[in-house]
A and B are shown apart, each in its own frame.
Chain A
Amino acid sequence: MKTAIKPGIRSNIGFVAIAACALLTTPYSVSALAESAVTLKETELKKEAAIDSPTLATLPGKSRVEVLKRQGGWTQIKPTSELQSQGWVKMFSLKYGDPSTKSDDGSALGSSLFNVARSGSSGTTVTTGVKGLEITKESLQNASPNRSELKLMHGYSVSKAEALQLASSGGLQKQSVPYLGESSSGFSVGKPFTWGE
């Protein structure tokens, strides 16, 4: 997609676009990249993603780790200077986004989505559309209801059959799982809702 830009402002736009990319870029991606996290508490490093797998080491709280991937309730971390073994820790034992180690290198997703496209062979990144609007308290307060967009949204609704087809093609299989815990609002889950006192 080519976008005509006056030479004089090209560099500015390029700069803004690159800056926007950095902001829009997710710090994570689907494939391998260095995500930094710290352990919230003392955590066992397991050989495999299973509770009965051998324990390779015990990481103290606040250990800085590099994340490889997640599998169910487990997260795989890679060796660092402080940690020789690669292994798995419980996903809930990690906190992401340690600011001192945050990486903003490109990810598979962020730079290419929605508002941003590569222009021509130069590789220069320019914004080709209006940047998405912000949804803030102020913008909601000032918003006029948009019924034509609502109509458009209704047009995207799908039938149960279409939904089940997606599940089938994704190999998703239904399971019977009861809700967790008690409803805090005093109603039992699943009971028809009525206005309480």
Chain B
Amino acid sequence: MSYLRKKITLAVLLLTASASPAWAFGGFNVDIGKVISAGKNLTETSREIGESEEVAIGEGMTSVLLGAAPLVRNDALQKYVNRVGRYLTLQTERPDLPWSFGVLNSQSINAFATPGGHIVLTQGLLKRMRSEAELAGVLAHEIAHVLRKHHLAAMKKMGGMGFLADVGSIAVDQKGGGGSLGKELSKNLLSGVKEVLIRGLDKDDEYEADRMGVVIATRAGYDPYGLPSVLQTLEANSGSSDAALLFSTHPAAASRLETLSDLMQSKLDHYQGKSVSDRFSRMLPSGSKN
């Protein structure tokens, strides 16, 4: 690890010093030419993005989401969602990430995972849920995106070598400056995380997060059908403008339900789980402060 890291850092230092990587998204030009020679080094040596870089990218992406909509000012609710989410993560292969959850003050219907374990959902989605099992189903879907590093894969696909170079520069910063906390992402990475949020992930990654999510929730002792139940609610809201971004970045709810139906009815039917609807209702009381 350390030897590999040193090699990567060296490659990145050379790259950032000499080439000013200008990877970009969407309709912008990707300045591949400038990074191609150093890029060859990177493909040979950087097979893995470190956890601290992953977390730094996730914090940057979460900051953008929080820039679009701040947290709901309800400490009890935020703590509750963190407890449910953190418990779910203990059923996964990455229990020791710095997991953190938040409810955004937005009427939009959506939930977002970001690399390294930061997950947010909107109050617009939360108030359409009926139980803790439904909340768990949605959080577990998002947790699966983190486990499988779907966003990093999407960013690499969009940004290519330039992305890897920029990620490498995070590592350089961290070595020199004691961690990424409090630091802004570079301009390139910032536009990259925005592009991923706006474009969404590969459809296959969404299906994978669905089938992992129902298992993670079931492992935790929840009713396995929480996530499909929310998908049915989403299907019923498919004409709502509040769900416009969600539907433009995800496969149709009907397709997701059909896929889960085939998988779940044979494999998860015999698991007994709890819906925990009473506690959920108490946590979303009337007169909840804004």
Contact = CB atoms under 8 A, between A and B. Distances in A.
Interface of A: 1, 24, 26-30, 51, 70, 72-73, 90-92, 94-97, 99, 102, 108-110, 112-115, 117-118, 128-137, 139-141, 143-147, 149-150, 152-154, 156-160, 162-167, 170-181, 183-185, 187, 189-190, 192-195
Complex A-B, nearest 10 residue pairs according to Cβ-Cβ distance, in ascending order = A97-B236, A112-B286, A145-B63, A129-B290, A143-B67, A172-B221, A163-B86, A149-B66, A92-B261, A96-B236
B62 A172 contact: no
Contacts of A97: 235-238
Given A156-B100, A171-B274, A194-B48, A135 B208 contact: no
Interface string B229-270: 100110111110010110010000010011011011101110
B173 interface: no
A174 to B, nearest CB: 6
B221 A175 contact: yes
A172 B279 CA distance: 12
Contacts of B265: 73, 90, 92
Given A114-B290, A158-B86, 14 more contacts: A92-B260, A97-B235, A109-B127, A132-B124, A135-B104, A140-B194, A146-B63, A147-B63, A147-B182, A166-B87, A172-B274, A184-B207, A194-B48, A195-B47
B107 A134 contact: yes
Nearest to B120: A153
Interface residues of B, number: 121
B70 A146 contact: yes
14 contacts: A27-B236, A72-B224, A109-B284, A114-B290, A128-B290, A140-B197, A140-B198, A149-B71, A152-B71, A163-B86, A167-B220, A170-B274, A176-B219, A177-B219
Given A152-B71, A175-B218, A145 B184 contact: yes
B23 interface: no
Contacts of B248: 137
Contacts of A113: 123, 127, 284, 286, 288
A136 B90 contact: no
Contact of B208 (A96, A99, A144, A185): A185
Interface string B196-216: 011000001101100110110
A177 B268 contact: yes
B123 A132 contact: yes
Given A156-B78, A194-B48, A140 B66 contact: no
A132 B69 contact: yes
B164 to A, nearest CB: 8
B72 interface: yes
